[in-house]
Structure 1
Amino acid sequence: MATLMIQGTGSNVGKSLLVAGICRAATLRGLSVRPFKPQNMSNNAAVTQDGGEIGRAQALQALACGVAPHTDMNPVLLKPETDVGSQVIVQGRRLATVKARDYARLKPQLMAPVLESFNRLKTQCDLVIVEGAGSPAEVNLRANDIANMGFAAAAEVPVVLVGDIDRGGVIAQLVGSQVVMEAADAARIRGFIVNRFRGDPSLFDDGYRLIADRTGWQGLGVVPWFSRAALLPAEDALDLRASGSGPVKIACLTLSRIANFDDLDPLKMEPSVRLEMVRPGQPIPGDVDLVILPGTKSTRGDLAFLRAQGWDIDLQAHHRRGGRILGICGGYQMLGKMIHDPQGLEGPAGRTEGLGYLDVETVMSPDKRLARVTAQHEATGLRVEGYEIHLGRTTGPDCARPFARVDGTAEGARSSDGRVQGSYLHGLFSADEFRSAWLSNFGAGSVSYSYQNTVKTVLDELAAHLETHLDVSALLQMAGARW
């Protein structure tokens, strides 16, 4: 069975997007393809049809392959909750919350489920495209590694190494990686890709040849910057940017543990919307129509962070001016009167006073809610599809005015005047008809595009982009694929 691993000279060099594009290109060539990432670190997760969670990038890669996301595509997911600790998800389920030093001791136990998931995927398709994490040049982490060369060696998978020319020093990135790696690991690398080039690629011909000569690796292409990538769901919060110039002004708070922020993607594309990402230290603009409190991996921690920025004062002023507020998941919990965490599931045990805009309270509990759902929006009766991924249960008088209904059961809450609303439903705005109705409350016209169709079109464009600038046939041959 054909396999190939795409590793990078560092984090955020474009591995996830390249894997999505290669998956799409191979699928369009008639191959049955699956994505795989042994270990991911992200608070932007997707709920799978088998009732677990994986990194958002692997869900996009699954879409590129034309298949439903599955927990086997990302068997180990780390979700940072503090600066030194992360929740560990194994094959879609929460295993524990550990500090970085403790995770290093846990890693040797995780190779078995990683290989188990990988081997299951191999039986389902013609080709598996594997994505590394971080860099194989981090040789201090090589012992017990499951994310890069440790996995490649255990699974006997050939590797292609990607360097990012946009950040500078790409020759040193690629050649230097070979220098510091053990000889056996360096020998697993069959080729290299130079990613995110701006301008005339021929200007890099000499540098490209130098890399090939110094490393002995086959050059597979120089990939120009793909600007349409901004229309695809991002996994890294660093990619969050303000967008649009429409008349409807929406501000989203960039919380320190912001999670599942792909909720914003359909709004970013709307011509009628100007989306402002409010960064730490910045005030909430006084002229916005709507403030969104997004999901977070640490509700009480990010509520303290919100107050430290002075955003609670800005929210009071926004609300007094008649502005609207929407809380999603952790943001919904913050809008209530109190958040209780008696077992210390998201930090020290205790309770935190909420912002008080909704008459509800939340109690954190270990039974995590993971589900893909179809709901009916209460105010419009429109159907929405999304997912829930949260600890905690929220109850209170304002739940009698639900945001939506899931299988007839009330979900979320609204204030008596309807200006403050909260919901656990992620992915709401992907539904074109609902998004149109929601934005009409702010004076926007009907939506002019289909979000899901746009994402699929951009994936096709990405595949064409790689077919033009990469030697995709050589990549597939390195993997052992036949088409």
Structure 2
Amino acid sequence: MSFPYSTLMVQGTTSDAGKTTVVAALCRLLQRQGVAVAPFKPQNMALNSAVTADGGEIGRAQALQAIAAGLAPHTDMNPVLLKPSSNTGAQVIIHGKVRAEMNARDYQQYKSVAMQAVLESYRRLGRQYAAIIVEGAGSPAEINLRERDIANMGFAEAVDCPVILVADIDRGGVFAHIVGTLACLSDSERARIAGFVINRFRGDLSLLDSGLEWLERQTGKPVLAVLPYLQGLFLDAEDAVESTQAARGAFRVVVPKLPRMSNHTDFDALRAHPDVDLRFIGQGEAIPPADLVILPGSKNTRGDLQWLLAQGWREQLSKHLRYGGKVIGICGGFQMLGNSVADPHGVEGAAGDSPALGLLDMRTELTMAKRLLQVSGTCTFADATVSGYEIHMGTSSGAALALPAFRIDGRAEGARSADGQILGTYLHGLFDTPPACAALLQWAGLASEVRIDTAQLREDSLNRIADAAQPLLDALLRLRPPAA
């Protein structure tokens, strides 16, 4: 099959309209037809990231889209990644590497530099692939961010590509979202819109017909497809913590919903496990009894540690351990388990030294260099393999590390308490390896024969969204691409 667009951009009327899944679906459909296709997102803001084979860091969503396209994730697929460390500041990552920590105003001025990195990556991908499917960020109607825009229409105008606009009907107001978005665009930007995608529809499609006809008359642009609401998808989320099905299993796992929690995709395998009841506990919520407490990763370890203490987690963890419960700390959560976390260079905020939970005899110092590495090894507490990735700034030292949790490429990694109740590690994605997931749950007290294969669940979901999006691809093939 020949795809008539060398570059096609998917933008949304709102955040979470479904841009990520539409891009992933098109990548999978084109890959099935033998088209050399790559995903691309000029600028992403997310705390969920993935480590690439070339030793960089990109948004988790672009790693998912790469898998949909049958490719290994590469830093060129997301040349600019912003990882918020506060309400006004973020770590700026260019071509997979940390460039600086900036506040929003400074970054606004930096965008012209970032755009050069975006165009470099785009051109490299263009030399390798017949088609590039681009994901926008947020909405092109964010007037306050239009100046020096590199994420939406600013990019589309720079490379002269057509755009399809996705709107989520499930949240309501879909026609107002589309018409209002068009009203906020310039004439040249409106002309660039090839058509609309109505996403997450459920019900009788015939009841939507009159609305679709009105929309096409009002805008002069076609509705390319109405995509269904698909339940039970297993796809990596960019940021939002998915709501957890209550009381799915008897084994209770609770996770504090840290303000700057990173890589909550670490828990997707547990969410999918039928014997596990996984719950995220937010601010002001009662901390329920549990079999296992997991402290997640954090983009601001000392800040989230302070939040944890203010929510009463220190006392609850002590009670939890007295009753025989288990605790796992992952990355920033692992650092919180020690005696202190020092940030002498102000890597994640104001410089300083914070007392930590004191559950493991170790100390952590945050460093300027970020460790980005895909790893594999074995568990020290069970006969099981593990694989995952490290993505952290900081090193830990102390007596607790003498009893490691894993052996990675011949080196000790992580720590376990002498009483066998606490385990800490820098490895993200450790539950994604079925043997390691089973071994960790057994260590925590769950004896289950169930094995969760996250890779297969992801593949099944990618195929489901691709099948559902076939009408969109058919409609795109019928359109005449705009002249360059």
* Structure 2 SS opposite 1:49: coil
Does the 8 A contact of 1:21 with 1:466 survive in 2?
yes
Would the alpha carbon gap of residues 401 and 438 (structure 1) be closer, same or farther in structure 2, given more than 3 Å must change?
Answer: same
2:15 matched to 1:11? yes
Aligned equivalents of 1:434, 1:239: Cα separation in 2: 23
Structure 2: distance between partners of 1:297 and 1:419:
26
Partner of 1:23 in structure 2?
27
Counterpart-to-counterpart distance in 2, 1:225 and 1:445? 32
Equivalent of 1:72 in 76, 80, 102: 76
3-state SS, counterpart of residue 234 of structure 1? coil
- Show the 5 A alignment for 1:87-102: 87-102=91-106
Match of 2:201 in 1: 197
Matched-pair contact (CA < 8 Å) for 2:244–2:271: no
Which residue of the other structure, out of 16, 26, 40, is the alignment partner of 2:44? 40
Q: 1:303 aligns to what? A: 305
Q: Does 1:233 align with 2:236?
A: yes
Please, which of 249, 253, 261 is the counterpart of residue 246 of structure 1? 249
Indicate if the aligned counterparts of 2:241 and 2:264 stay in contact, CA closer than 8 A.
Answer: no
Aligned equivalents of 2:309, 2:439: Cα separation in 1? 32
Structure 2 Cα separation of the partners of residues 100 and 153 of structure 1: 23
Letter paired with 1:271: P
Q: Once the 2 structures are TM-superposed, how far is the Cα of residue 34 of structure 1 from its aligned partner?
A: 0.7
For normalisation by structure 2, the TM-score amounts to: 0.96
- The answer as to 2:227 corresponding to 1:223 is yes
Verify: 1:460 aligned to 2:463, yes or no. Answer: yes
Deviation string, structure 1 residues 301-330 (Cα, Å, up to 9, x no partner): 000111121222211211111111000000
Q: Greater CA deviation, 208-217 or 73-82? A: 208-217
Stretch of structure 1 that moved more, 370-379 or 342-351: 370-379
TM-score by length of 1: 0.96
AA at the equivalent of 2:372? L
- Provide structure 1 residue ranges, at least 5 long, that are not aligned to the other structure: none
Which aligned pairs between 1:259-278 and structure 2 lie closer than 5 A? 259-278=262-281
User: Residue in 2 aligned with 1:148?
Assistant: 152
**Which residue is equivalent to 1:290?**
292
Cα RMSD for the two superposed structures? 1.5
Number of aligned residue pairs: 477
Which residue of structure 2 lines up, in the alignment, with residue 391 of structure 1? 393
Aligned position for 2:474: 473
Q: Secondary structure at the match of 1:24?
A: helix
The alignment status of 1:435 with 2:431, answered yes or no, reads: no
Do the aligned residues in 1 keep the contact of 2:335 with 2:341 (CA within 8 Å)?
Answer: yes
Look up the match of 1:213: 217
Deviations 1:432-457 (A, max 9, x none): 12212222231331224422112111
Aligned mates of 2:369, 2:447 — CA distance in 1: 40
Distance 2:281 2:41 in 1: 31
Q: 2:369 maps to which residue? A: 367
Q: How far apart are the structure 2 equivalents of 1:37 and 1:460?
A: 21
Equivalent of 2:126, from 122, 127, 141? 122
Q: Distance in 2 between matches of 1:323 and 1:168?
A: 43
3-state SS of the aligned residue for 1:166? Answer: coil
- Residue type of the alignment partner of 1:187: A
Query: C-alpha offsets along residues 368-392 of structure 1, whole Å, 9 cap, x if unaligned?
Result: 1001111211111422111000000
- Of stretches 433-442 and 201-210 in structure 1, the one that deviates more from structure 2 is 433-442
Cα distance in 2 for partners of 1:192, 1:237 equals: 24
Q: Determine helix, strand or coil for the equivalent of 1:237.
A: coil
Is the contact made by 1:283 and 1:314 (CA closer than 8 Å) also made in structure 2?
no
Mapped to 1, the partners of 2:479 and 2:316 lie a distance apart of 55
Q: Which moved more, 1:263-272 or 1:374-383?
A: 374-383
2:377–2:385 Cα contact (<8 Å) kept: yes
Question: Cα deviation per residue 1:163-184 (whole Å; 9 max; x = unaligned)?
Answer: 1111111111111111121101
Supply the distance in 1 between the matched residues of 2:184 and 2:271 (Cα, whole angstroms): 41
Instruction: State the identity as a percent.
Output: 49
Q: Which runs of 5+ in 2 are unaligned?
A: none
For the residues of structure 1 that align with 2:375 and 2:128, how far apart are their CA atoms? 26
Shift of residue 95, structure 1, vs aligned partner: 0.7
Asked whether 1:51 is paired with 2:52, we answer: no
Letter in 2 for 1:247: A
CA separation of 1:240 and 1:119: change in aligned 2, threshold 3 A = farther
Deviations 1:279-307 (A, max 9, x none): 21112212x11000000100000001111
The separation in 1 between residues aligned to 2:123 and 2:347, in whole angstroms, is: 33
Q: Secondary structure at the match of 1:228?
A: coil
In structure 2, C-alpha distance between the alignment counterparts of 1:109 and 1:434, rounded to whole Å: 43
CA contact (8 A) 1:78 1:87 kept: yes
For the residues of structure 1 that align with 2:479 and 2:84, how far apart are their CA atoms? Answer: 35
Write the distance in 2 (CA, Å) between the matches of 1:306 and 1:478: 53
The one-letter code sitting in structure 1 at the alignment partner of 2:475 is A
Distance 1:449 1:401 in 2: 28
Aligned letter for 1:312? R
Query: Could you say which residue in structure 2 is the equivalent of 1:176?
Result: 180
The 2-side partners of 1:10 and 1:136 are apart by 9
Residue aligned with 1:22, SS: helix
- Residue 480 (structure 1) shift: 5.8
